[in-house]
Amino acid sequence: MYKLMEVCGTHTMAIARAGIRQLLPDNVKLISGPGCPVCVTDQSEIDAVLSLSERKDVIVCCYGDMLRIPGSERGDSLAKRISRGARAEIVFSPADALDIARAEPDKQVVFLGIGFETTAPGTAMAVKLAKERGIENFSLLCLLKRVEPALRALAAGPDFDIDGFLCPGHVAVITGAEAFRFIAEDLRLPAVVSGFEPEDIIRSCSMLLAQIREGRAELENQYTRAVRPFGNPLALAVMDEVLEPSDCLMRGMGIIPGGGFSLRKGYAAFDAKERFGLELKDVPEPAGCLCGQVIQGKAEPSSCPLFGRTCVPEDPVGPCMVSSEGSCAAAYKYGRN
């Protein structure tokens, strides 16, 4: 059995939508990894967000999926808090949160910065503009994650048995394909940067299998129409100016050294965690929820006892059923008999 891991939630949903798993030979298995930004957000971070939403002077701005992630108490979420008077706004970009901050100067506007390197440049630019324009009632709760440390932590696990990686094309648009060379050189595994159309994914799987068959461990770029070797220099520059690597929590994986981002000293005044004294408390996963194992490729959604029973998109228990990039949401929508 050859096990290939896609580490991008967009790939996970595209694979399920197109039925690619059913098209592959019986001895080839696609496994979802820690590529869904909402899903890897730790439970303690979600509870900190809910605590922040209790403040009458705060408007929480976030992407849509974040509204529905349950807190540690079943049934609690930002969406539920809105019905009880909390202010939370769905935005399409960090720039929208800046506009809200300018329009409501008597409120503290907090943007929930989630995502990997894909969304990090836009988040960094929002903080940079807030400083340049003197928008002092704007701050960032930085929940950004980094792909490389997450994959290194995954590969260091005692039961790791992946044969090749399908690398995220949109992360590589920012970082460049070369950012994934560590997979071939350090982890000694085949890696292919892939696009998102069904043809892209099937071609990328074929490239990975060719490497495995030929005993090679190389980095290849299938997504050449969008991904360059060294990425987007302007995006990388603003990230480097505003953000720096820091240790972070990832759901199911614990503390990942250098696995996240934090604001550099020159932008520390915009750190919502410090501004509001937020504390991340140790919170257990919801009883019976296997999201932490699904994220690591150790369990399939259908193996979770809650899947499709007490955990459904309309009433989710874990974030993997909430997010539009979540493995459980994809399996529920496209994979059920």
Q: What is the structure's pLDDT at 56?
A: 94
Q: What is the structure's pLDDT at 336?
A: 55
Per-residue pLDDT of the chain in tens (337 residues, 90 and over written 9): 999 999 999 999 999 999 999 999 999 999 999 999 999 999 999 999 999 999 999 999 999 999 999 998 877 899 999 988 999 999 999 999 999 999 999 999 999 999 999 999 999 999 999 999 999 999 999 999 999 999 999 999 988 999 999 999 999 999 999 999 999 999 999 999 999 999 999 999 999 999 999 999 999 999 999 999 999 999 999 999 999 999 999 999 999 999 999 999 999 999 999 999 998 888 888 889 999 999 999 999 999 999 999 999 999 999 999 988 999 999 999 975 4
Write down the H helix ranges in the chain: 9-18, 20-23, 37-40, 43-53, 78-83, 94-103, 120-133, 147-155, 169-175, 181-185, 198-213, 233-242, 272-275, 291-295, 327-330
Query: Whole-angstrom Cα distance, residue 308 to residue 328?
Result: 9
Q: What is the structure's pLDDT at 72?
A: 86
Query: Whole-angstrom Cα distance, residue 57 to residue 154?
Result: 40
Architecture of domain 39-146+233-275: 3-Layer(aba) Sandwich (3.40)
DSSP string for 278-322: ------PPPTT--HHHHHTTSS-GGGSTTBTTTBBTTB-SSGGGT
C-alpha R_g of the chain: 20
Query: Whole-angstrom Cα distance, residue 328 to residue 36?
Result: 11
Q: Side-chain half-sphere of 104: how many Cα atoms within 13 Å?
A: 17
Q: What is the structure's pLDDT at 15?
A: 96
**Angle, vertex CA 38, rays to CA 105 and CA 308, nearest 5:** 130
Query: Whole-angstrom Cα distance, residue 3 to residue 21?
Result: 12
Q: What is the structure's pLDDT at 337?
A: 43
Q: What is the structure's pLDDT at 279?
A: 87
| Paired tokens of 46 | 């979600």
Q: Taking a C-beta distance cutoff of 8 angstroms, is the pair 139, 108 a contact?
A: yes
Q: What is the structure's pLDDT at 74?
A: 75
How many angstroms separate the first and last alpha carbons of the chain? 24
Residues 6 or more apart whose CB falls under 8 angstroms from that of 158 comprise none
